[in-house]
Amino acid sequence: MSKIDFISADNGGIKFYAGRDDVAMELNCVGFAKTPEMVNYIIKTRGLADRVMHSSSMDFASEYGFSNNDDAWILWQDGYELDDKKAAEVA
């Protein structure tokens, strides 16, 4: 199973891709998230490649269903750090 190696903003959420479908000549979409919890779940279940690239849609998120350009990165960061935040609340 390929790990996540590419992300993009779309329809107010983040699409996750792992590997490439050489027959269809396109990226292999493996998940979609609109909440930090779902971002975290997809990252945990698929894993992250050593290098994760991103589409420019992450920087121009307001053109892809987000209210502000920073919102896709905020969603990514909140999901990525979710376990750290929960651990800090318990400590």
Residue 21: exposure state from Cβ atoms within 10 A (0-12, 13-18, ≥19): exposed
Confidence band, pLDDT 50/70/90 cuts, at residue 6: very high
Contact 78, 88 (CB under 8 A): no
Are 8 and 54 a contacting pair, CB within 8 Å? Answer: yes
On the question of pLDDT at 89 being above 70, the answer is: no
Q: Residue 91: is its pLDDT beyond 60?
A: no
Is-contact 34 50, C-beta < 8 A?
Answer: no
Distance CA 58, CA 68 (A): 11
Number of domain units in the chain: 1
Query: pTM of the prediction?
Result: 0.87
Q: Is 70 exceeded by the pLDDT of residue 88?
A: no
For residue 64, what are the domain limits? 4-90
- Please return the burial class of 45, using the count of CB atoms within 10 Å of its CB with bins 0-12, 13-18 and 19+: exposed
- pLDDT, tens digit (0-9, with 9 covering 90-100), for 10-57: 999 999 999 877 666 678 999 999 999 999 999 999 999 999 999 999
Nearest one of 26, 2, 28 to 15, comparing CA atoms: 28
